[in-house]
């Protein structure tokens, strides 16, 4: 597997080694030993999530607060997304900066999003299945987030601006300014 650190420290793009033959393909979607040796990050994932979305759905930007913060290893099982993570670590030199990447079932790439980040994705193909591992349990009371189109974050979501499908909850998320003043 190839591991490349992004410009956001601790956030990695992982390209697994895929074994293809006349039957199809095989790859290790996670291996603790390989992950830790290549990233230098010790992680203990405790929860796996899967969501299915239609084209145009935008989920995020989400994070869990404080002790309930989650690191995530995200990937697309079927379809394609523009995946985005935002550095919300106030001591970080890239605080407020984001990284985006196209994840799909062809490149089979994964993104490791450390604790202290907001995460979201825009779905670019119908019936996209998104799967991710979390290193902390879901805690509804600790859920928080930032508006996907926050002016200060200025995330480039591409050309589909008017066709997004967004939950009422996500439409009411905080601005980055509000997050700063919390």
Helix, coil or strand: residue 151:
coil
In the chain, which residue ranges form alpha helices assigned H by DSSP?
32-39, 168-171, 176-181
User: Which residues of 65-139 form beta strands (DSSP E)?
Assistant: 72-78, 80-87, 98-104, 110-113, 117-123, 128-134
What residues act catalytically?
62, 132
Of 103 and 108, nearer to ligand T46 (C-beta) is 103
**Window 61 to 120, contacts with ligand T46 (CB under 6 A):** 62, 119-120
Q: 80-87 and 110-113: which strand pairing? A: unpaired
Q: Which of 49, 54, 93, 154 binds ligand T46 (CB under 6 A)?
A: 49
137: alpha, beta or left, given left = phi > 0 and alpha = psi -120 to 50?
Answer: beta
Q: 47-53 and 2-5: which strand pairing? A: unpaired
Cβ of residue 63: shortest distance to ligand T46, in angstroms? 8
Total site size for ligand T46, rule CB under 6 A:
10
Of 59 and 80, nearer to ligand T46 (C-beta) is 59
One character per residue 9-48, x = contact with ligand T46 (rule: CB under 6 A): ----------------------------------------
Q: Which of 31, 32, 54, 167 binds ligand T46 (CB under 6 A)?
A: 167
One character per residue 132-151, x = contact with ligand T46 (rule: CB under 6 A): ------x-------------
| CA atoms in the 13 A half-sphere facing the CB of 114 | 19
Q: Please report, as ranges, the residues that interact with ligand T46 according to CB under 6 A.
A: 49, 51, 59-60, 62, 119-121, 138, 167
């Amino acid at each position: 597997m190839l591991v490349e650190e992004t410009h956001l420290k601790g956030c990695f793009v992982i390209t697994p080694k895929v074994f293809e033959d006349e039957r199809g393909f095989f790859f290790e979607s996670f291996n603790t030993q390989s992950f830790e040796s290549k990233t230098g990050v010790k992680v203990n994932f405790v929860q796996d999530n899967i969501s299915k979305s239609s084209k145009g759905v935008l989920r995020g930007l989400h994070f869990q607060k404080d002790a309930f913060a989650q690191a995530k290893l995200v990937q697309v099982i079927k379809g394609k997304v523009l995946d985005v993570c935002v550095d919300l670590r106030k001591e970080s030199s890239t605080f407020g900066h984001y990284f985006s990447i196209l994840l799909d079932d062809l490149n089979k790439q994964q993104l490791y999003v450390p604790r202290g980040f907001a995460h979201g994705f825009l779905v670019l193909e119908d019936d996209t299945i998104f799967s991710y591992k979390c290193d902390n349990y879901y805690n509804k009371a600790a859920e928080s987030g930032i508006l996907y189109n926050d002016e200060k974050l200025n995330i480039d979501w591409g050309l589909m601006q008017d066709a997004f499908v967004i939950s009422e909850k996500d439409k009411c998320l905080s601005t980055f300014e509000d997050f700063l003043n919390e």
